[in-house]
């Protein structure tokens, strides 16, 4: 592969579950349910396409402000997903990681997350990184705090702070930056997702709602990505 077409890491903002359901006269919860099934399909497709990292925005720090009913349903779905779907991924030797403010999640969910991470830590075919209770500004502030503490303790000096050191303080430590960001549902914004990591990513927006997203649509966006020239500020 040429440098231009390298595609190691795809990040996705899985948006439009609610609208998908509302359009059909269904409760929003059914949109989330269908959306969770699509996650399985797309993960499988990514593995088949030889993608090394897939980072999925499942729940943002801002999503805690949704109704208690919706949050509680999403947490139920998440438990199911962690217990069954991800177990299946484990059998396919997919490495699972989580990024986000995990302390905000229920204890049993945190435990399931830690177990899955530990059990899959040695796999390297595809890493699925799930952004859960994730907010990029929180992540950046937490990194700044860690660095400040290290300086205060005399472990590092201010001169040691550079892009690499800063990157290593983020939840995404050791994960290369996304090559391609996809957002479904027609919205064209980042919604507090990977603000640092997306500095030079190619952006792709599709009107398809997440529950209708498919391996074919993923391939269409990948094909479009392959036609782009990534310049990184050079000529
Ligand atoms: C994305 O779908 C899933 C989550 C944010 C949890 P939405 O629930 O945001 O669906 P819309 O945007 O309201 O259609
Ligand atoms: C972003 O979608 C978060 C996830 C997809 C998990 P939202 O639907 O929450 O974002 P906004 O509110 O439209 O910006
Ligand atoms: Mg939305």
Q: Provide the CATH number for the domain around residue 72.
A: 3.40.1180.10
Given ligand 2 and candidates 12, 14, 15, 36, which is best to mutate, with the most ligand atoms within 8 Å of its CB? Answer: 15
- Rounded-to-5 percentages of helix, strand, coil across the chain: 50, 15, 35
Q: Ligand 2 pocket: which residues have CB below 6 Å?
A: 13-15, 57-60, 63, 187, 189, 191
Task: Count up the domains in the chain and report the number.
Answer: 1
Does the residue 150 lie in any domain? no
* Per-residue pLDDT tens listing for the chain (235 residues): 445 569 999 999 999 999 999 999 999 999 999 999 999 999 999 999 999 999 999 999 999 999 999 999 999 999 999 998 777 888 888 999 999 999 999 999 999 999 999 999 999 999 999 999 999 999 999 999 999 999 999 999 999 999 999 999 999 999 999 999 999 999 999 999 999 999 999 999 999 999 999 999 999 999 999 999 999 999 8
Return d(Cα 173, Cα 131) in angstroms, integer: 14
Three-state DSSP string of 90-120: HHCCEEEEEECCHHHCCHHHHHHHHHHHHHH
The residue whose C-alpha atom lies closest to atom 10 belonging to ligand 2 is 191
* Domain contains 122: yes
Catalytic option among 63, 85, 177, 212: 63
| Residue 205 belongs to a domain | yes
Residue 1 is predicted with a pLDDT of 43
Beta bridge partners of 56: 12, 130
Task: Tell me, yes or no, whether 184 lies in a domain.
Answer: yes
The answer as to whether 148 is a domain residue is no
Range of the domain at 57: 9-135+177-226
Residue 63: active-site member:
yes
118 C-alpha to ligand 3 centroid (Å):
31
- Is 85 an annotated catalytic residue? no
Residue 108 lies in a domain: yes
- Domain-embedded: residue 31: yes
Tell how far the Cα of 7 is from the centroid of ligand 2, in angstroms: 25
Beta bridge pairs of residue 202? 180
Ligand sitting nearest the alpha carbon of 192: 2
C-alpha 185 – ligand 2 centre gap (Å): 10
Are 35 and 211 spatial neighbours (Cβ–Cβ below 8 Å)? yes
E strand or H helix at 9: strand 9-13
């Amino acid at each position: 592969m040429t440098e231009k077409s390298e595609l190691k890491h795809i990040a996705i903002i899985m948006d439009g579950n609610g609208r998908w359901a509302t359009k059909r006269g269904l409760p929003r919860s059914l949109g989330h349910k269908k959306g969770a099934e699509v996650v399985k399909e797309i993960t499988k497709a990514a593995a088949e396409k030889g993608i090394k990292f897939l980072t999925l925005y499942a729940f943002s720090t801002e999503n805690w402000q949704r109704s208690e009913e919706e949050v509680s349903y999403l947490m139920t779905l998440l438990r199911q997903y962690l217990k069954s779907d991800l177990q299946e991924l484990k059998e396919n030797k997919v490495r699972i990681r989580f990024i986000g403010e995990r302390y905000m999640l229920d204890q049993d969910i945190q435990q399931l997350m830690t177990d899955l991470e530990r059990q899959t830590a040695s796999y390297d075919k595809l890493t699925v990184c799930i952004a859960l209770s994730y907010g990029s500004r929180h992540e950046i502030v937490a990194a700044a705090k860690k660095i400040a503490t290290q300086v205060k303790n005399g472990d590092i000096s201010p001169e040691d702070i550079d892009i690499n050191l800063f990157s290593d303080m983020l939840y995404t430590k050791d994960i290369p930056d996304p090559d391609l960001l996809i957002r479904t549902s027609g919205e064209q914004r980042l919604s507090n997702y990977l603000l640092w990591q997306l500095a030079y990513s190619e952006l792709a927006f599709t009107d398809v709602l997440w529950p209708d997203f498919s391996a074919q649509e993923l391939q269409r966006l990948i094909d479009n990505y392959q036609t782009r020239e990534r310049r990184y500020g050079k000529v």
